[in-house]
Amino acid sequence: KTTNNWWKKSVVYQIYPSSFNDTNGDGIGDIPGIIEKLDYLKNLGIDVIWLSPVYDSPQADNGYDIRDYQSIYEKYGTMEDLDKLLEEVHNRGMKLVMDLVVNHTSDEHQWFVESKSSKESPYRDYYVWRDGKADGEPPNNWGSVFSGSAWDYDEATGQYYLHLFAKKQPDLNWENPDLRTDVYEMMNFWLDKGIDGFRMDVINFISKDQDFPDGEVGEGQLYGDSGQYFINGPRIHEFLKEMHTEVLAKHDVMTVGEMPGATPDDAKDYTDPANDELDMIFTFEHMNLDQVDGDKWNLKALNLVDLKENFEKWQTSLHGVGWNSLYWNNHDQPRIVSRFGDDAKYREKSAKMLATCLHMMQGTPYIYQGEELGMTNVQFESLEDYRDIETLNMYKEKKSLGWSHERIMEAIYAKGRDNARTPMQWNASENAGFTTGTPWLAVNPNYQQINAEAALEDEHSIYHYYKRLIQLRKEKDILTNGRFELLMRDDAQVFAYKRVGEEETYVVVCNFSGEEAVLEDSIVAEVQGAEVVISNDDSYDIRHKLAPYEGVVYSK
Ligand code: TEU
Ligand code: CA
């Protein structure tokens, strides 16, 4: 197990392979394309790369539906390419963390093909098969995250199989010790290659309540409320401890569990090193504040006070107990500068402010490809331009519930996952230099203004600002260990907090609005005479108020 906790001082960069860099003109990013850009990442100051799935897959959910855990999707390249990537990453002193998707596989995985073939198959119980109800209904009333029932009927064997996500993503049955052994064997295959850890896909969903009870069907809902029966399920800690013993304890690796529905108290159990489970988790709580009734498509404006309270909860709960991940973006979330910033009038300034607010907190920061350029959400005219299965399935379901086309498109513009998946914008040439072919998903039309080449040349770019933030994390112990204290708690414009270290205190003040903001007297006193560590507005040094979207860090 990791003794020196190198990941506490690391900054992680997430690569979504299909959209990062295409080198053979097929319009799909590939592993040689990633190798080509490693110096760009090294220059940014990145320590760890989290690579979204590159395994063989029919791509029903862009690789989160794995057909063979130990071979590479042909359009991304070969296992030799992957080995070369790992070598080149290590040559540059960086680390590579792979995506572990073991809540489910593709329905084309050999295990499922066997399992489906007959009730007597030795692989039958690698998945969750149940009889339907007497009245011809599925085993229970659970819905899939990607719309529709969470069960699909198989004529041949007259049973249903569970899929919390797409039909082509059958859930694995973690109750089966043989399945668990096969998963651990696969993990050791990758760790023996020398990868440096795993990001674990919906890992807190793997233990289900084996009674599979119906959930309450809420007002206007099509399916029962089922999360309580598989989120942080009955055997989750047992399984993670077994995984730690069988696999993780033998390697100096970093682990981060993606955990929709986990609370800070859950996170203390998962990330307390004494529990021998995981190093950190991804919370969804701060990503669920601008929605109504747990429905991401049912839009609500963010109330900054809610965001501040949520970060305070996570920072204080885990301080000295476990460890936080820190993120605004990933391949499932809309682009933060469009979501909580202003991607029009104050795009660069608000992007830098958001980065300041996040990177000065305690935890390991994650940067999603293009975030360092201030890439924005996209608005495609027609539904045909969208690719994400979650979006396309949702469109049909919301229409059936009477939502207008306009309301659904507005929801897609605000929260659709394709917002994060438009090709990385490298330069102002055609298709932003991402491909010489036709991109699998169209490039955001603003690539002439927003691209890496322009950012590298502009010393005031968001890229260079991120580079300075990342450098600070390496230099300043207070960022790793200082205690978090929320300030101006009830203010709806300013997110202000302290980091209290042994020798010094940082005061971080961020204006989340396009209006000038006034600092409380208690803070004004704190920042008088304090030196500026970093600021997104060097021209402005009026210490009792903040300019629109100004973000400043004071040291005293
Ligand atoms: O995401 C888990 C998950 O719950 C997401 O689907 C997220 O909540 C939702 O998409 C918000 O819109 C992981 C992967 O990150 C995601 O890409 C996969 O689609 C999903 O699991 C299934 O593997
Ligand atoms: Ca390609």
Q: Which pLDDT score is estimated for 3?
A: 57
The model carries a pTM of 0.98
DSSP states of 178-215 as a string?
HHHHHHHHHHHHHHHHT--EEEETTGGGSS--TT-PPP
Does the Cβ of 526 fall within 6 Å of ligand 1? no
Q: Do 240 and 278 meet the contact criterion of CB atoms below 8 Å apart?
A: yes
Task: Tally Cβ neighbours within 10 Å of residue 399.
Answer: 12
Cα-to-chain-centroid distance, residue 159: 34
Does the Cβ of 107 fall within 6 Å of ligand 1? no
Beta bridge partners of 171: 104
User: What is the distance in angstroms between the CA of the first residue and the CA of the last residue of the chain?
Assistant: 37
Tens digit of each residue's pLDDT (9 = 90 or more) over 139-156: 999 999 999 999 999 999
Tell me the backbone φ, ψ of residue 51, rounded to 5 degrees. Answer: -100, 115
What token pair was written down for 414?
């605000």
Q: Which pLDDT score is estimated for 2?
A: 47
Those residues whose beta carbon sits under 5 angstroms from the ion ligand 2 are: 22, 24, 26, 28, 30
Q: Which ligand is closest in space to the CA of residue 24?
A: 2
pLDDT < 50 stretches in the chain: 1-2
**Catalytic residue check, 201:** yes
Closest CA to 48 of 199, 207, 219, 202: 199
* CA–CA–CA angle 337, 341, 345 (5° rounding): 95
Which residues neighbour 183 within 8 Å (Cβ) at sequence distance 6 or greater? 102, 172, 243
Does the Cβ of 227 fall within 6 Å of ligand 1? no
Q: Which pLDDT score is estimated for 21?
A: 99
Q: Which pLDDT score is estimated for 541?
A: 83
Q: Which pLDDT score is estimated for 539?
A: 83
Determine the distance separating the centroid of ligand 1 and the alpha carbon of 346, expressed in angstroms. Answer: 30
Tell me the backbone φ, ψ of residue 407, rounded to 5 degrees. Answer: -65, -40
ipTM of the prediction greater than 0.85, yes or no: yes
Q: Which pLDDT score is estimated for 81?
A: 98
Tens digit of each residue's pLDDT (9 = 90 or more) over 420-462: 999 999 999 999 999 999 999 999 999 999 999 999 999 999 9
Q: Which of 22, 30, 81, 201 is catalytic?
A: 201
